[in-house]
Amino acid sequence: MNAAASRALSTFPTGDAMTTPTASSDLSVAFQLALQRELHVGGEAASPQALLRAAAHACRELLAQRWADTQAEDARRGLKASVRRVHYLSMEFLMGRALGNALAALGLEETVRAAFTAEGHTLPDVLEREPDAALGNGGLGRLAACFLDSFAELGLPSFGYGLRYQYGMFAQGIQNGRQVEAPDDWMAQGNPWEVMRPELRYLVGFGGHVEVDAGGARRWVPADHLVAQAYDFIVPAHHTQRVSTLRQWHAQAEAPIDFAAFCRGDHQAAAAHRVAADAINWVLYPDDSTDAGRQLRLKQEAFLVSASLQDLIARHLQEFGTLEQLGRANAIHLNDTHPALAPAELMRLLLDEHGMAWDQAWSITRQAVSYTNHTLMPEALETWPVRLFEALLPRHLEIIYEINHRFLEQVKQQYPGDGELVRRVSLIDEGGHQGNWGGERRVRMASLAIVASHRVNGVAALHSDLMVKTIFADYARLFPERFHNVTNGVTPRRWLQQANPGLSALLDRNIGIGWRQRLDEMGRLTPLAADPALGQALMAVKRENKQRLADRIRRDLGVTVAVDSLFDVQIKRIHEYKRQLLNVLHVIARYQAIIANPTADWVPRTVVISGKAASAYVMAKSIIQLAHDVGRVINSDPRVGDRLKLVFLPNYGVSLAELIIPAADLSEQISTAGTEASGTGNMKFALNGALTIGTWDGANIEMAESFGEEHMFTFGLRTEAVEALKAVGYEPRHYVEQNAQLRAVIDAISRGDFSQGDSGRYRALVDKLLNQDIYLLMADFADYVKAQERVDDLFRDPVAWARCVLLNMAGMGLFSSDRTIEEYVDRVWSAKSLG
């Protein structure tokens, strides 16, 4: 921790004042009561589901007490506190399962294990029954979930704000090698964790028009209102009594039944409001959503923002009486641009509902708001048609126009005569140029977020650097002091302690137990890395984890894999820039080499791929199908045997990641340099004792710098080389013509070797590779294959491999989300950051 952050944190409540330790007898009583409620009658055998609910209810009671204590403590802080209360707005929270984490945090694993055993069930068997709370697409949502854990652990006064989606990320099934999507009805059996807050309800308006009164004051008269009802999910700290809160909003109709219509017998009309409200709660948008149905997404964003800010203002008024100090006492953080309506809504509330003047409201807004960017791809930057705003959020549009007007006046003063600059930085894309399909005017949400924030950050050093050099170069010139980097991290509690109990116990014995709270204690492994006995113990733990995964692969896929083979793993969203296809091309090359030379000294490999493709992303789905086709051929070829297997585990999510990552020997982090903002999967793997084969991209770079580049298998063109190659005119065919191995791989796919002779199946995929290949797979292939050979060489020497793994783990101290949050506090959320 740096000195500034530790100073800021020293003023946090620590929870030490709350001394009530959790008595396991409290829980036993709560659990027995909850179980009786679950079973209705005594004496009946408890099902695992009933045990799960009973344990969850019992934990929830204890957490609710901690929640009340935490809130009381935070409310006493007042303005002297150097850390503002943080309001983390995110459309996604990819939480996964809760019970295992709650039991670990409350120190109640053994109590509950005994209680379950007494009912005839094992703890792991019951934990497995809990559905994942999968209210996120991938990395961005999982980051938000890790942050909630660190908020609690660090005692940061905070609220996470999100939506209570009925259906989370779709469940992925595989039929004939193709992805099929099914709804994820995660609350079908209820949600025993959530606490409804009947007293916390706010009205959120939509549509309508703006009225001007005699004094010239403007006021929005919405056509409709929805009620936002709060549900809290409580996240415990592991080393104090503090908790953090995820407050999720549920939309309800203001008047659920149109009674007149009901009496007329028109039941459809009678329920219309209810149906409209349900649509908000309905489904988490997968990241592929096309224009159809997008209006609903904007409504979801507006609903999240308005309810959260009304809640913040109500709390602030209760604590302070007036709004003057709102920006000094509160931080409002935007996790990407999805909640970027927040500054417009805060301005509206301050101006229209609380009668504040523009300059004061703007100054408060700028103090409060900060924004994290998650992607450099210009096509991924969120914009909304002005016409949609006019229909749905007319007053917000007025306010955005006014913000824009004042901002552009400033720009014109600073850079007189530079009309191009003004056009580029405007919050409104005036349309009619390339890259704006409809040619219609659109609101640029990232621009709004930047102009209204006092801090903007990227999520890894390279990403933050490219951000100010590329997509936000103009803004960085206008506001150089605003842009910062805060490299991502992951929580060691979930991703090491809970996911990998064997490795955790080994660490405890060798470096003590402190790493759970201060991950930099992993550094104590450095002097032990050359100890062969420790290396052996490490590999024994790894083998147990691999056995567990091998059992799962056999159970789910019917494929037997060799537990002593090298487990080579790539699990993440399926995306062209993440280059799962490059991985599959290498597998094919290896397959061909094995067939050509079966007696060579092959290092046996099991390649594991998992990940969901957005439902409208044709190329990503084709890659999934190819992985299945290739796996089917290789896994059933008797000439190959244990030397090579390729398996695809369906329905990737947090709990599957917790099973797979501890079993990995090799972590595939092979995105085209300059495309992966940070990655957090890379961190989870290294923490769990996998070595990384990776490009010079995202946080891979900082990891390599931390434990030594010679301890990572790096390969491929770096960002500048990628740019240079594109600048001179990249010709993928050239690489295929020059490389017989690559040619043979492409030919085999084209011929239909893996698609039962169907040479058409992958024509589009191959055409794209040969003619465009915008992610430079062809250019990086040869170097990737060489890096894979270096992997084999090291794996042949188990002592050297184990030493390298230990050195990787030793260097992972930086990549705890606790460190990330300390940096946010220091650079973004402290009162000090306001200058």
Ligand X SMILES: *Cc1c(COP(=O)(O)O)cnc(C)c1O
Which residues of the shown chain bind ligand X in the complex (CB under 6 A)?
94, 138-139, 142, 572, 653-654, 657, 679-681, 684
Q: What is the CB-side half-sphere exposure of residue 248 using CA atoms within 13 A?
A: 25
> What is d(CA 797, CA 287) in angstroms, rounded to the nearest whole number?
43
Let me know how many helices (H) and strands (E) the chain has, helices first.
35, 24
The tokens for 564 are: 């002593």
Using CB atoms, what's the residue nearest to ligand X?
Answer: 681
Q: Would you say 15 or 96 has its CB closer to ligand X? A: 96
- Identify whether 454 is a catalytic site residue: no
Min dist. Cβ of residue 96 to ligand X (A): 7
- Identify whether 80 is a catalytic site residue: no
Min dist. Cβ of residue 287 to ligand X (A): 12
Which listed residue (57, 396, 684, 761) is catalytic?
A: 684
Min dist. Cβ of residue 572 to ligand X (A): 4
Min dist. Cβ of residue 757 to ligand X (A): 35
> What is d(CA 138, CA 170) in angstroms, rounded to the nearest whole number?
12
Q: With beta carbons less than 8 A apart as the criterion, state whether 620 and 576 touch.
A: yes
Which of 755, 594, 675, 652 has its CA nearest to residue 176?
A: 755
**Tokens 């490059």 found at:** 582
Q: Would you say 247 or 684 has its CB closer to ligand X? A: 684
> What is d(CA 57, CA 38) in angstroms, rounded to the nearest whole number?
10
Q: Is the dihedral of CA 655, 334, 294, 378 positive or negative?
A: negative
Alpha-carbon separation of residue 2 from 8, 69, 223 (angstroms)? 10, 29, 51
Q: Which residue intervals of 393-455 are DSSP H helices?
A: 394-414, 419-425, 445-451
Q: Would you say 662 or 681 has its CB closer to ligand X? A: 681
End-to-end Cα, the chain, rounded Å = 21
Residue 201, C-beta contacts closer than 8 angstroms, at least 6 positions apart: 227, 228, 229, 230
The tokens for 440 are: 């219609």
> What is d(CA 238, CA 774) in angstroms, rounded to the nearest whole number?
45
- Identify whether 463 is a catalytic site residue: no
Residue 327, C-beta contacts closer than 8 angstroms, at least 6 positions apart: 363, 364, 365, 366, 367, 368, 834
Which listed residue (53, 77, 374, 590) is catalytic?
A: 374
Q: Would you say 169 or 298 has its CB closer to ligand X? A: 169
Min dist. Cβ of residue 825 to ligand X (A): 23
- Identify whether 247 is a catalytic site residue: no
Q: At 433, which amino acid appears?
A: H
> What is d(CA 569, CA 560) in angstroms, rounded to the nearest whole number?
16
Please provide residue 37's backbone torsions phi and psi, each rounded to the nearest 5 degrees.
Answer: -60, -40
Q: Would you say 144 or 228 has its CB closer to ligand X? A: 144
> What is d(CA 729, CA 593) in angstroms, rounded to the nearest whole number?
32
> What is d(CA 453, CA 368) in angstroms, rounded to the nearest whole number?
8
> What is d(CA 602, CA 596) in angstroms, rounded to the nearest whole number?
12
The tokens for 486 are: 């805060």
Q: Would you say 329 or 614 has its CB closer to ligand X? A: 614
Question: What Rg, from alpha-carbon coordinates, does the chain have?
Answer: 27
Min dist. Cβ of residue 88 to ligand X (A): 18
> What is d(CA 397, CA 21) in angstroms, rounded to the nearest whole number?
51
Which of 697, 699, 707, 696 has its CA nearest to residue 681?
A: 699
Q: Would you say 141 or 339 has its CB closer to ligand X? A: 141
Q: Would you say 142 or 546 has its CB closer to ligand X? A: 142
Min dist. Cβ of residue 808 to ligand X (A): 16
Pairing state of beta strands 644-648 and 218-221? unpaired
- Identify whether 680 is a catalytic site residue: yes
Min dist. Cβ of residue 658 to ligand X (A): 8
Q: Would you say 520 or 658 has its CB closer to ligand X? A: 658
| Most distant pair of Cα atoms in the chain: their distance | 91
Which of 795, 768, 781 has its CA nearest to residue 736?
A: 781
3-class state of residue 70 by DSSP:
helix
Q: With beta carbons less than 8 A apart as the criterion, state whether 35 and 50 touch.
A: yes
Which listed residue (491, 680, 692, 820) is catalytic?
A: 680
3-class state of residue 714 by DSSP:
strand
Q: Would you say 520 or 697 has its CB closer to ligand X? A: 697
> What is d(CA 399, CA 214) in angstroms, rounded to the nearest whole number?
20
Q: Would you say 13 or 698 has its CB closer to ligand X? A: 698
Which of 255, 148, 247 has its CA nearest to residue 197?
A: 247
Min dist. Cβ of residue 362 to ligand X (A): 36
Q: Would you say 132 or 345 has its CB closer to ligand X? A: 132
Min dist. Cβ of residue 94 to ligand X (A): 6
> What is d(CA 283, CA 536) in angstroms, rounded to the nearest whole number?
47
> What is d(CA 676, CA 687) in angstroms, rounded to the nearest whole number?
19
Min dist. Cβ of residue 592 to ligand X (A): 28
Which of 672, 699, 671 has its CA nearest to residue 684?
A: 699
The tokens for 462 are: 């390279």
Min dist. Cβ of residue 577 to ligand X (A): 10
Which listed residue (395, 444, 542, 572) is catalytic?
A: 572
- Identify whether 726 is a catalytic site residue: no
Q: With beta carbons less than 8 A apart as the criterion, state whether 394 and 210 touch.
A: yes
Which listed residue (84, 578, 605, 819) is catalytic?
A: 578
Q: Would you say 66 or 684 has its CB closer to ligand X? A: 684
Q: At 134, which amino acid appears?
A: A
Min dist. Cβ of residue 134 to ligand X (A): 8
> What is d(CA 160, CA 786) in angstroms, rounded to the nearest whole number?
45
Number of Cβ within 10 Å of residue 125's Cβ equals 11
Catalytic residues: 374, 572-573, 578, 680, 684
